[in-house]
Amino acid sequence: MNVGGLKTITKSVVGELTHRLGIGPFVCRGKVLILAYHRVVTPDDLSRGHIEPGMYVLRDVFDMHVRWLVEQFEILSFSQLLTRWNDNEWDDRKRYCVLTFDDGWLDNYRHAFPILKTYHVPATIFLPTNYVGSNEWFWPEKFAYLLARLSQNSLTSVQRTRAGGVIAELSGMAHHEFDGQHGVSLDTVWEVIGRCKLAPPSEIQSGIHKLSEILAISVPHERVTINWSEVAEMAKNGISFGSHSCSHHLLTRLDEETIRQELQESNRLLRALPAGYLPVFCYPNGDNNEAIQGLVKQAQYVAAVGTKPGVEGQHPGNMYELNRIGMHNDVSETIPMFSFHVFRSAWGL
């Protein structure tokens, strides 16, 4: 048995034990879980092959999550959470939960929203405003689509070599690690993308453009994010919307003036919503520092979230880097696993 399989079994066994003992919910008394989801998808969606591991839960799994959370926690909207903090209205005997989603994926509307409506559960979606209503893909999905095309038999050796050179240069991988001569596994695809996140946005876009030209393939013009009409519909049904910047670039890779523009413009667009606006910022990829936190505060956001794991209590340590618990299928496909994941995050394990 490989290491990954052993870890999965161990998590399942320990998860079952903590679930039976009720440890997960117990340690959350007097705390609030801010859960961070990205995508809610179906097996058919997964079969298309452009969904990053750690970025999704299956629709049936999400339904199971919500049913369990309704039974175990008092689910608050993000606005209600802020009000409780501001008014010092906190019950140490209760367990609170807030649901959030990053990126504004179309599947949030198609799959998550109907489930949230069924159980009358509020949630917040953090939007990168440049993508709302567009056919533009996020760059990791563009990369995944193009890299998957390296398995095509019609490509010449020259095309593969040139493509391998672009990828190796951008990702920092040695040519012998990625020569482009063979199809790549999904694990390698997402390893390359993870390394590319360290590159400046202009270099990433240039690399994607070069790959598209070398492979003679364009990324499909297919909408993958929600539009403003869907935002308006969800806002009427308990969904609020915060900012995830305009471009979704990592703020730590941008200069101060560009960061200010990203913060202010996305804030301006969202404030114009007739309903559902939430003055909370979400750092793309969670990347931030004290200087960026200060700029977020100056831009009139009242709080911000990243990817730092953990729970919050009656008095948050830092309103501009609130803890969240990242949720994805691999750690939550059963309630015992979900409960164990919550337990680990609550205790910082």
Mean pLDDT for 235-243 is 97
Taking CA 106 as the corner, what is the angle to CA 104 and CA 110, rounded to the nearest 5 degrees? 125
Q: Is 211 exposed, middle or buried (0-12, 13-18, 19+ CB in 10 A)?
A: buried
DSSP-assigned letters across all residues of 233-245? HHHTTTEEEEE--
The percentage of the chain sitting over the pLDDT mark of 90, rounded to a whole number, equals: 67
Q: What are the tens digits of pLDDT across the range 312-347?
A: 999 999 999 999 999 999 999 999 999 889 888 877
pTM over the 0.85 mark: yes
CA distance 203 to 326: 28
Residue 250's pLDDT is 95
Residues 6+ apart with CB under 8 A from 234: 109, 113, 125, 226, 276
